Amino acid sequence: MKRCSWCGNDPLYVKYHDEEWGVPFSDDQKMFEFLLLETFQAGLSWITILRKRENFRNAFADFDVDAVANFTAKDIERLQNDPGIIRNRLKIQSAISNAQLIVRMRDEEGIGLSDYFWKWVNHTPIVNSPASLKEVPATSNLSDAISKDLKKRGFKFVGSTVIYAHLQATGIINDHVVDCDFRNSLS
């Protein structure tokens, strides 16, 4: 079985690669989960986040955006004392404020988080053809534009690199290398 080299042999990474990474979906809750996890990943390895994913799920109300948007100072303190997640106060606060902005976007503009991201590509995944991991960029014009728009809306920890990784993870951009056995199953 050929896979993208970034997942190596770690069983958790392999499972994530084979079952989730790059698989398109349109569920708002799952989109929030991926965005929240990507914002916590900034500056860390993705495997660190994957290993803490269930802890994040428990800590952040099963990634229910409405519940997270209503977190209080008491929740921030609870999260800062939770050894199962990344206890960065700024990232915790941004997760809550980003959730509030997502709720506002949904209520005021009538657009869910999934539609927000998918509209940038006319609801059609971008399929790249990297021959190797070296050819996969960290950012693109698209991730630059989305990052800029999200920052203008007040979102935090949504730099272009974070957004590009989010687009890859959620299947909006297919960056599986050309010899990866999972690449064509996503088309």
Confidence grade of residue 187 (pLDDT, cut at 50, 70, 90): low
Mean pLDDT of the chain: 96
Confidence grade of residue 1 (pLDDT, cut at 50, 70, 90): confident
Bridge partners of residue 39, in order along the sequence: none
- The angle at the Cα of 163, spanning 33 to 38, to the nearest 5 degrees, equals 35
Domains recognised in the chain with CATH numbers: 24-186 (1.10.340.30)
Residues 6+ apart with CB under 8 A from 72: none
- The residues that are catalytic are 16, 38, 46
Average pLDDT for 11-19 = 95
DSSP category for residue 72: -
Note the pLDDT tens digit of each residue in 22-36. 999 999 999 999 999
d(CA 155, CA 148): 10
- The angle at the Cα of 86, spanning 34 to 99, to the nearest 5 degrees, equals 45
> Taking the model in full, what pTM does it have?
0.96
Rg of the chain in Å (alpha carbons): 16
Q: Is 7 annotated as a binding residue?
A: no
Token pair 């209520």: residue: 107
Nearest to 165 by CA among 46, 53, 52, 17: 46
Note the pLDDT tens digit of each residue in 101-137. 999 999 999 999 999 999 999 999 999 999 999 999 9
**Are 40 and 125 spatial neighbours (Cβ–Cβ below 8 Å)?**
no
Helix (H) or strand (E) holding 174: strand 173-174
Q: Is 180 annotated as a binding residue?
A: yes
**Are 158 and 41 spatial neighbours (Cβ–Cβ below 8 Å)?**
no
Q: What percentage of the chain exceeds 70 in pLDDT? A: 99
Token pair 């269930």: residue: 54
The predicted pLDDT at position 183 comes to 87
**Are 63 and 186 spatial neighbours (Cβ–Cβ below 8 Å)?**
no
Average pLDDT for 80-107 = 97
**Sign of CA pseudo-dihedral 164, 170, 172, 175:** positive
pLDDT at 83 over 90: yes
The three-state secondary structure class of 127 is: strand
pLDDT at 174 over 60: yes
Token representation of residue 44: 């860390």
Note the pLDDT tens digit of each residue in 141-169. 999 999 999 999 999 999 999 999 999 99
Nearest to 103 by CA among 39, 32, 152: 32
